[in-house]
């Protein structure tokens, strides 16, 4: 992996002139935030040696370097999912690339189904914990000792100091537990009932491998889910990706304000 990683880094570094400390991973319908980046340099995923590419609707597939809220950042405009056929190890490779680029903090967003009946579509939730129902771990296999320990601690999946600053700015911000499945099919009503009993408030198809890999290599995280729909069986209606995109579009302004402030307080 090392040879591929350094080949990837060499290509990216040849295209940029700044070293960002903050990374952002934008979920379904949330890539619009990358349009606000100033002095941007864009690199398509398919140009980068050894890098995966996005195939999911609403994920454009670019690294965007520049300034956002006064901070030097790199934005992943589109992420990588297990349901696309990528392995969790591939997602680890992406996170390790960010680490080697100098990223110290990672702000992750996703679109999720609301299991918690007190949520409503359009709510933005601070993720305080995760449940890995993908049954895949990106750290499986020989440990990459230069990045982190064999058995990384997962008792805190978020940056406590960062979270406290955000909660002071947004005291009404809801919190919840995010459960990840592989997808791409949506969950059944029976699965959602079971997940609720496990303590899950949200369900989605991403984010967990990214958090695990980030914890391993010492990148601290802040995670927001946009509850774009009620999960299966909560309402008597079918689920669709179109609904996810429509709701994400409706909360653009609110989400932008939250993300920009999250960068500003650092």
Cite the active site residues: 28, 59, 81, 83-84, 111, 205-206, 229, 241
200 marked ligand binding residue = no
50 marked ligand binding residue = no
190 marked ligand binding residue = no
CA distance 45 to 77: 9
216 marked ligand binding residue = no
150 marked ligand binding residue = no
Query: In the structure encoding, which two tokens stand for residue 249, read together?
Result: 């579009």
Query: In the structure encoding, which two tokens stand for residue 149, read together?
Result: 């320990």
CA distance 139 to 247: 34
Backbone angles phi, psi at 207, to 5 degrees: 75, -45
CB-CB contact of 181 with 187 (8 Å): yes
Backbone angles phi, psi at 260, to 5 degrees: -60, -40
14 marked ligand binding residue = no
81 marked ligand binding residue = yes
B/e letters for 180-216, b = 16+ CB within 10 Å, e = fewer, are bbebeebbeeebbeebbeeebbbbbbbbbbbbbbbbb
Give the position of tokens 């967003």: 109
For 125, the 3-state DSSP assignment is strand
Closest CA to 72 of 41, 113, 118: 41
28 marked ligand binding residue = yes
Residues annotated in the binding site for phosphate, as ranges? Answer: 28, 59, 79-81, 111, 206
Residues annotated in the binding site for a purine D-ribonucleoside, as ranges? Answer: 187, 229
Residues annotated in the binding site, as ranges? Answer: 28, 59, 79-81, 111, 187, 206, 229
């Amino acid at each position: 992996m090392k040879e591929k990683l350094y080949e990837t880094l060499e290509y990216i570094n040849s295209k940029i002139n700044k070293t960002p400390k903050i990374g952002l991973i934008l979920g379904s319908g949330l890539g619009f935030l990358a349009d606000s980046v100033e002095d941007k340099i864009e690199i398509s995923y398919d140009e980068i040696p050894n890098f995966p590419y996005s195939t999911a609707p609403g994920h454009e597939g670019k690294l965007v370097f520049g300034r956002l809220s006064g901070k030097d950042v790199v934005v992943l405009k589109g992420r990588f999912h297990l349901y696309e056929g990528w392995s969790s190890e591939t997602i680890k490779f992406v996170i390790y690339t960010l680490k080697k680029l100098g990223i110290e903090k990672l702000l992750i967003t996703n679109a999720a189904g609301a299991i918690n009946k007190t949520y409503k579509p359009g709510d933005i939730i601070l993720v305080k914990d995760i449940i890995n129902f993908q049954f895949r771990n990106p750290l499986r296999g020989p440990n990459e000792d230069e990045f982190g320990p064999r058995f990384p601690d997962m008792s805190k999946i978020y940056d406590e100091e960062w979270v406290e600053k955000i909660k002071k700015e947004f005291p009404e911000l809801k919190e919840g537990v995010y459960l990840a499945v592989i997808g791409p099919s949506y969950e059944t009503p029976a699965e959602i009932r079971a997940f609720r009993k496990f303590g899950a408030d949200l369900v989605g198809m991403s984010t967990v491998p990214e958090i695990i890999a980030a914890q391993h290599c010492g990148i601290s995280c802040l995670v927001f889910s946009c509850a774009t729909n009620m999960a299966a069986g909560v309402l008597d209606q079918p689920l669709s990706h179109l609904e996810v995109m429509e709701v994400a579009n409706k909360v653009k302004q609110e989400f932008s304000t939250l993300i920009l402030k999250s960068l500003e307080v650092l």
